[in-house]
Amino acid sequence: MTDSSTPELKRAVVRRGAAPTAAFPWGAITWMDCAEITGSETLTFGVVRIDAGQSNPAHRHPNCDEALHVLEGELVHSLGDEEYVLKAGDTIHIPQNMVHQARNPGTIPCRIVVAYNTGRRQVVGEFGDPAPADPYRER
C-alpha cells in the first residue's frame, strides 16, 4: 500500500540475473538501480567489472557525483591531474564534472560497485576518446 506522497516503483527488488548487463571492450556493467529500472530519480547503482590490463574511456558526469567502491582486485583511478591506487575495501568520490578514468593494472578482473546521486546520470567522453557519448550504455 502506498500513499500519494510515495513514488510508484517500477521494481522494488532487482534479482541477480534479472538486471541488464552491458559488455564493453574493457569489461562490463550491470545496472541494479536507476530511473529505467526502479523509477528512482535520485540514485543510479551498478556493479562494474574492469578486466585485467583494461581501462574505461576518460569521461565526466555533468549532472552528478559518483562513488566507486572496490570489492576485488586493484584499480588505478585518475581524477583530474591526480592518480590513486585503490585496492579492495577502498572508495573514491568523484565530484560532478571531474574528468576521470579507471584502469586495472592487475592480473585479475577488478570488481567495483558504483553509485551516482541521480537516477539519470549523464556521461561525456573526454580527450578525443572514440567512446560513445555514454560509455556505460550498450549500443
Higher model confidence: residue 7 or residue 10?
Answer: 10
Rounded to an integer, what distance in angstroms lies between the CA atom of residue 136 and that of residue 80? 20
CATH C-level class of 32-115: mainly beta
**35 — phi, psi (to 5°)?**
-55, -40
CB 34 within 8 A of CB 45: yes
- 9: pLDDT confidence band, cut at 50, 70 and 90? low
Q: Delimit the domains of the chain by residue range.
A: 32-115
Q: How many H-runs (helices) and E-runs (strands) does the chain carry?
A: 1, 11
DSSP SS3 for 94: strand
pLDDT tens digit sequence for 10-52: 778 887 778 888 888 999 999 899 888 888 899 999 999 999 9
- Give me the mean pLDDT over the 120-127 stretch: 78
pLDDT tens digit sequence for 68-122: 999 999 999 999 899 999 999 999 999 999 999 999 999 999 999 999 999 999 8
What secondary structure, in 3-state letters, does 56-83 show? CCCEECCCCCEEEEEEECEEEEEECCEE
Rounded to an integer, what distance in angstroms lies between the CA atom of residue 45 and that of residue 109? 19
| Cα–Cα distances in angstroms (integers) from residue 80 to residues 70, 84, 97, 101, 135, in the given order | 19, 11, 10, 9, 18
